[in-house]
């Protein structure tokens, strides 16, 4: 493997990203041992403190673990890593056989949103239902500006997710609408059909207020799935 040297600024961040990408791409397969700290420092021209910081972050991301013998072993990240890794992947765009992480995020958004709508219909208070209907009415007044509709859509969905009473969904929502993993950062024209369906927004608010769990879940899934790109057909052979 050709020697790779990295810039002096934020060397631990750069080293973490480089080693992370090697793990994700399979260049460092699960079950293999990482090079010793001293050798990594020599390979990349950095001090051992930077190496230790990078390895610490890899361990926190559940990409590696320190074995009883003191060696740092690569883990099967598809079994051990969490949603925070998706955020890092979105930041760096590492090679994953051209996998469409953006589509995965939107599929997750549709699933979480549909069940949050169901739970909201079952659990929301009269005050929460009224707030959701009022927000839908305001949404209907925004007009065809996709950027403004996108912001209003996020605010409206936050009320629904909060009304679901599910803290895990709320934290997932925060991840999905903020930062580099943000579904809200998807170009508005990519989800224009969803944003411009004002009638569906109004109807979903009505279903939630009427405590129609099944109807709310069905409509929410239909609405949110409009932004999910189709999966390319697999070719035989």
Are 132 and 120 spatial neighbours (Cβ–Cβ below 8 Å)?
yes
**Residue-level pLDDT at 1:** 44
Question: What is residue 86's predicted lDDT score, i.e. its pLDDT?
Answer: 77
Q: What is the pLDDT of residue 182?
A: 55
Q: For each of the chain's 237 residues, which pLDDT tens digit applies?
A: 445 555 545 889 999 989 998 998 899 999 999 999 999 999 999 999 999 999 999 999 999 998 877 899 999 999 999 887 876 676 655 445 546 777 888 888 999 999 999 999 999 999 999 999 999 999 999 999 998 998 999 999 999 999 999 999 999 898 888 755 555 456 666 789 999 999 999 999 999 999 999 999 999 999 999 888 876 655 444
What are the tokens at 7? 């810039």
Superfamily of domain 101-225: GntR ligand-binding domain-like (1.20.120.530)
189 - beta bridge partners? none
Q: Where are the beta strands (DSSP E) in 46-190?
A: 64-66, 72-74
Relative orientation angle of helices 146-164 and 167-177, to the nearest 10 degrees? 160
Distances (CA, A) of 21 to 6, 69, 88, 90: 14, 25, 10, 12
Token digits of residue 205: 């608010």
Compute the Cα dihedral for 43, 47, 49, 54 and give only its sign. negative
Q: What is the pTM of this model?
A: 0.77
Among residues 52, 44, 34, the alpha carbon closest in space to that of 7 is found at 44
CB contact set of 100 (below 8 Å; sequence gap of 6+): 229
Q: Find out whether 163 and 118 touch, Cβ atoms under 8 Å.
A: no
Each domain of the chain, given as residue ranges in start order, spans: 11-92, 101-225
Closest of 173, 169, 172, 164 to residue 125, by C-alpha: 164
Predicted pLDDT of residue 237: 43
Closest CA to 22 of 85, 107, 80, 94: 94
DSSP-derived letter for residue 228 is S
pLDDT score recorded for residue 197:
95
pLDDT at 185: 55
Fold of 11-92: Arc Repressor Mutant, subunit A (1.10.10)
Q: What's the pLDDT at 233?
A: 56
Decide: helix, strand or coil at residue 66: strand
């Amino acid at each position: 493997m050709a020697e790779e040297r990295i810039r002096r600024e934020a060397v631990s961040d750069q080293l973490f990203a480089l080693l992370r990408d090697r793990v994700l791409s399979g260049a460092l397969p699960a079950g293999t041992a990482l090079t010793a700290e001293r050798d990594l420092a020599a390979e990349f021209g950095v001090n051992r403190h930077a190496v230790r910081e990078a390895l610490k972050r890899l361990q926190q991301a559940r990409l590696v673990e320190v074995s009883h013998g003191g060696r740092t072993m690569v883990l099967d990240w598809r079994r051990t890593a969490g949603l925070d890794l998706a955020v890092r992947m979105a930041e760096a765009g590492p090679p994953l056989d051209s996998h469409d992480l953006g589509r995965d995020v939107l599929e997750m958004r549709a699933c979480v949103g549909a069940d949050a709508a169901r739970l909201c219909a079952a659990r929301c208070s009269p005050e929460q239902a009224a707030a959701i209907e009022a927000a839908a009415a305001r949404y209907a007044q925004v007009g065809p500006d996709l950027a403004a509709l996108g912001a209003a859509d996020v605010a409206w969905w936050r009320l629904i997710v909060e009304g679901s009473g599910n803290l895990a969904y709320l934290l997932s929502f925060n991840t999905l609408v903020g930062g580099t993993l943000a579904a809200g950062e998807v170009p508005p024209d990519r989800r224009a059909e969803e944003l411009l369906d004002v009638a569906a927004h109004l109807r979903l608010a009505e279903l939630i207020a009427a405590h129609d769990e099944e109807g709310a879940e069905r409509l929410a899934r239909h609405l949110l799935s409009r932004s999910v790109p189709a999966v390319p057909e697999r070719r035989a052979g």
